[in-house]
């Protein structure tokens, strides 16, 4: 049995709203121990006390809940050219967020300088001080060695290979800083916003390229070298276009936003990127609708195998091209239901992202919070504060 104050905080965080009596019965701790630990969490403002639970005959009990105002977290979702920055509360909710147009190819120091400036500005807007900041979470568009917070051979991030991003951010802000692949944090963000989060889900980002974040058994699955979920480079039998990775027939080279924009340009339309493709689809342009539906079917081909292999209960489609909505999803569904086994697709839900552009920053904040609020770390901090 886990008995520390940090574990009690984790329990309160997972219950949402609770009472001392419920905490004692759920944790198995003595009521006197719960009372002492709750007192410690209250005096450190990590939880709040308010209202009263419905009386069931006895004395009304005070409601306890996790204090989402206990601190702030700096979050960012970096893309090749478009990024998003946010200051979030302890519930991973963005207090203030804004897009940031920046080429990631200017290198890590210049990018982190711009991020620091943006965060300083957003802290002011949110009415928070730098001393409120307890953690930093960052998503980057490339593979990451998670434990080291380091980019590893990122194909579209020149100058970042081996750079210790987490360590550099900790040096700047004096708090824990966590870094992961952008699609992993989008998966985490989308999941954290659900009332009843599934244990097994796949988040597919369809933007310029295509990638996926895998949550298995309730945890991000990163794989041995941090490249798990890289479905953009799965080979599709019906495609044969050359890919930027050097292979032929990769999913991304046929169904990614860059490939579609190129295809539509060749057909005489104006499309430089994913967002232009979405604009044409929404405008009812038949060639664009046809191309997006075909892309959906190709993505469905790759996902059908993944459904058979991993048996998720939910597939969420995000990224710029998800703006094409049903035109993209219909093709994905069609092929998954055709190719995956009936048992694997039983109860499977396939839908677009609910958080849209914000999935990444919410997930980045959640990743940092899970570290800051880890029971052992909470206990250590409580000990320091006396
Ligand atoms: Zn490839």
Ligand 1 centroid to residue 238 C-alpha, Å: 15
The secondary structure element, H or E, covering residue 336 is: helix 326-339
DSSP-derived pairing of the beta strands 94-101 and 62-66: unpaired
Ligand 1 centroid to residue 2 C-alpha, Å: 46
Q: What is the mean pLDDT of each run of 10 residues along the chain (386 residues)?
A: 88 92 94 95 94 66 93 95 95 97 94 97 96 97 92 89 96 96 97 94 95 96 91 86 90 95 96 95 96 97 96 96 94 95 93 95 97 94 82
Cross-strand bridge partners of residue 145: 150
Q: How far apart are CA 127 and CA 122, in angstroms?
A: 8
Ligand 1 centroid to residue 235 C-alpha, Å: 8
∠ Cα 360 366 369 (to 5°): 145
Residue 309 is encoded by which pair of tokens?
Answer: 């292999």
The pLDDT value given to residue 59: 67
Residue 150 is encoded by which pair of tokens?
Answer: 């380091």
Ligand 1 centroid to residue 55 C-alpha, Å: 61
Ligand 1 centroid to residue 212 C-alpha, Å: 14
Ligand 1 centroid to residue 211 C-alpha, Å: 11
Ligand 1 centroid to residue 230 C-alpha, Å: 9
- Residue spans of alpha helices (H) in 103-163: 108-126
Ligand 1 centroid to residue 251 C-alpha, Å: 7
Contact 113, 155 (CB under 8 A): no
Q: How far apart are CA 126 and CA 172, in angstroms?
A: 20
Alpha-carbon separation of residue 164 from 146, 208, 256, 350, 357 (angstroms): 11, 26, 29, 36, 26
DSSP-derived pairing of the beta strands 133-140 and 177-181: parallel
Q: How far apart are CA 140 and CA 360, in angstroms?
A: 10
Q: How far apart are CA 128 and CA 132, in angstroms?
A: 6
Ligand 1 centroid to residue 160 C-alpha, Å: 20
Ligand 1 centroid to residue 152 C-alpha, Å: 17
Ligand 1 centroid to residue 233 C-alpha, Å: 4
Neighbours of ion ligand 1 (CB under 5 A): 233, 243, 245, 247, 250
Ligand 1 centroid to residue 231 C-alpha, Å: 9
Ligand 1 centroid to residue 248 C-alpha, Å: 7
Q: How far apart are CA 385 and CA 295, in angstroms?
A: 55
Ligand 1 centroid to residue 143 C-alpha, Å: 14
CA 242 to chain centre: 30
The pLDDT value given to residue 54: 64
Question: pTM higher than 0.85, yes or no?
Answer: yes
Ligand 1 centroid to residue 338 C-alpha, Å: 25
Ligand 1 centroid to residue 134 C-alpha, Å: 39
Ligand 1 centroid to residue 346 C-alpha, Å: 31
* Burial (Cβ within 10 Å: 0-12, 13-18, ≥19) of residue 243: buried
């Amino acid at each position: 049995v886990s008995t520390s104050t940090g574990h009690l905080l984790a329990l309160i965080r997972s219950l949402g709203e609770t009472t001392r009596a419920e905490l004692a019965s759920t944790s198995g701790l003595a009521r006197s121990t719960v009372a002492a630990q709750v007192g410690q969490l209250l005096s450190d403002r990590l939880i709040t006390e308010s209202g009263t639970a419905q009386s069931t005959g006895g004395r009304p009990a005070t409601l306890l809940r996790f204090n989402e105002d206990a601190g702030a977290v700096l979050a960012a979702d970096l893309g090749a050219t478009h990024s998003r920055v946010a200051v979030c509360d302890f519930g991973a909710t963005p207090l203030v967020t804004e897009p940031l147009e920046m080429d990631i190819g200017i290198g890590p120091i210049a990018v982190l300088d711009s991020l620091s400036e943006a965060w300083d500005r957003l802290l002011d807007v949110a009415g928070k001080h730098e001393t409120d900041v307890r953690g930093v979470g960052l998503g980057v568009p490339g593979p990451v060695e998670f434990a080291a917070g380091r980019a590893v051979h990122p194909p579209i991030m020149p100058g970042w290979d081996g750079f210790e991003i987490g360590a550099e951010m900790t040096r700047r802000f004096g708090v824990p800083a966590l870094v992961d692949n952008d699609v992993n944090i989008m998966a985490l963000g989308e999941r954290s916003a659900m009332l009843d989060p599934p244990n097994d889900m796949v988040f597919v980002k369809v933007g310029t390229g295509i990638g996926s974040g895998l949550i298995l058994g309730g945890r991000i699955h990163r794989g041995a070298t941090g490249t798990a979920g890289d479905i953009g480079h799965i080979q599709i039998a019906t495609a044969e276009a050359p890919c930027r990775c050097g292979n032929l027939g990769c999913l991304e080279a046929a169904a990614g936003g860059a490939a579609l924009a190129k295809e539509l340009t060749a057909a005489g339309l104006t499309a430089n990127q994913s967002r232009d493709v979405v604009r044409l689809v929404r405008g009812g342009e038949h060639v664009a609708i046809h191309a997006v539906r075909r892309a959906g079917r190709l993505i469905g081909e790759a996902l059908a195998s993944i459904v058979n292999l991993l048996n998720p209960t939910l597939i969420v489609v995000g990224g710029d091209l998800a703006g094409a909505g049903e035109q993209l999803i219909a093709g994905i569904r069609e092929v998954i239901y055709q190719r995956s086994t009936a048992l694997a697709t039983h109860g499977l839900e396939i839908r677009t992202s609910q958080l849209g552009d914000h999935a990444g920053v919410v997930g980045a904040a959640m990743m940092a919070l899970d570290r800051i609020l880890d029971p052992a770390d909470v206990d250590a901090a409580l000990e320091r504060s006396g």
